Structure 1
């Protein structure tokens, strides 16, 4: 049976896990979270460039997946090419859904909700030039929304005002009043889709993310294997020691993970 390893800085990649499971139910989906270095959105490019390729290679060597998914926009926009150069399996990155958003907007203005790291990267500029040169793109980078997503998934009760305050700058300017499609350019954000939708003005008709597209790409790349052999249960690899394991375990258990290992990477 095929194995896929989904990687993120925290719990955000669990939204990608759901998409892969729904589209390819006969595949084991392992998960890895760099909780010890979270959040990526506030780290410098230099810090991430120094860490990500070596970390991803070590995780792949330990989990031995058939495909590796970088379920993090910040990591993908910065280090996807570097990781692909040093591993010998397919690597699927997470690309902000600029293209489909540009195709469906009716007002000619889309919003991009991301981390500060993703917002400032050349990768996003290139996507806009390639797929959205004919429309207006309004960006907003928020690290606070990532933290809110983590807290929400862990079961904390959070007021809607907290989400409203994190998202409102996207719509504060004159151009923001024309946004009808919002790109959720962080894998954490689909986990709080309902709260984001409530925080958006009524004229926002669509929230769009990359989860389904990633699931389809993984399905295209997998060589399907039919096997009657019993495969090990899916597992989680977690950096940051036992304290992070204890903090994350209730969330991971909700997503069906009971094997959680800490790794010193």
Structure 2
């Protein structure tokens, strides 16, 4: 199938967390047209039920694909991927890349054989995480903690608001305070929002930790799936799409522009 050079890459998240996936993808494919879609009307996903997310995400992605005709879609959200990825792939006729917790690299990196999975409440309770832990970390103690407040911290950071260091400290304490937490040496950032506040997490940790997430691997996957396709001579201005344009969106404009998203519109 011939793909038009103007066909964009579509990134989808509940909020701005997927920017941590977009950044390495733009580095790998600097000429790619970009549409970044944030479900601001449904944000946050991490506190929603599996049934809500399973119903909402495929329907929204269907509308986005119909409007923007992308060559590929990236579900740049761990919660949506672990719950709705198979349904989205069944519904769309383009390649769909999901975002899953980086448990395999964490298991390879951990010297103490104790690592943490820091995500949303919805992600850390998924059977998918159980399967990854059993497959790649069977000889490890895998600690899990969900933090909705850390998601809000990342959104606040991109809006340029003052940040409360206690949020990052409390999120890490949810892992450190579990049995075996004193041996933890690696933390999986299992929410795409969390790499945006990696500096805050590192500053809040009482001792050095390695943080891992899947952004670079997803960029390699996108490049592989689009190899041989045509791209524009230069990347056009990217588009940020919001399912609800409210007062929380305008303060994001400067941060979005840093990621190449100069246009903003509603769905």
Q: Is the 8 A contact 2:149 2:167 kept in 1?
A: no
What RMSD over aligned residues (CA atoms) do the two structures have, in Å? 1.7
Between stretches 236-245 and 35-44, larger displacement belongs to: 236-245
Selected match of 2:202 from 197, 200, 203: 197
Helix, strand or coil at the partner of 1:78? helix
Q: How many residues were matched structurally?
A: 262
Residue 217 (str. 1) matches residue 247 (str. 2):
no
Partner of residue 175, structure 2: 170
Give the number of the structure whose residues are more often helix, by fraction.
1
Structure 1, gaps ≥5 residues long: none
Question: 1:166: Cα distance to partner?
Answer: 2.7
User: Where in structure 2 are the equivalents of 1:1-265 lying within 5 Å?
Assistant: 1=5, 3-204=8-209, 206-226=210-230, 232-263=236-267
Question: 1:58: Cα distance to partner?
Answer: 0.9
Question: 1:249: Cα distance to partner?
Answer: 2.6
Question: 1:200: Cα distance to partner?
Answer: 2.1
Counterpart-to-counterpart distance in 2, 1:250 and 1:6: 19
Change (3 A) 1:229 1:219: closer
Change (3 A) 1:9 1:227: closer
Question: 1:52: Cα distance to partner?
Answer: 0.9
Counterpart-to-counterpart distance in 2, 1:125 and 1:107: 20
Question: 1:109: Cα distance to partner?
Answer: 0.6
Helix, strand or coil at the partner of 1:35? coil
Counterpart-to-counterpart distance in 1, 2:136 and 2:231: 41
Helix, strand or coil at the partner of 1:162? helix
Deviations 1:5-42 (A, max 9, x none): 11100000011110101112121222000011100001
Question: 1:173: Cα distance to partner?
Answer: 2.5
Counterpart-to-counterpart distance in 1, 2:83 and 2:153: 23
Q: Is the 8 A contact 1:245 1:262 kept in 2?
A: no
Helix, strand or coil at the partner of 2:160? coil
Question: 1:50: Cα distance to partner?
Answer: 1.3
Change (3 A) 1:134 1:234: same
Helix, strand or coil at the partner of 2:200? helix
> Normalising by structure 1, what TM-score?
0.93
Counterpart-to-counterpart distance in 1, 2:232 and 2:74: 26
Structure 2, gaps ≥5 residues long: none
Counterpart-to-counterpart distance in 2, 1:64 and 1:249: 24
Change (3 A) 1:64 1:231: farther
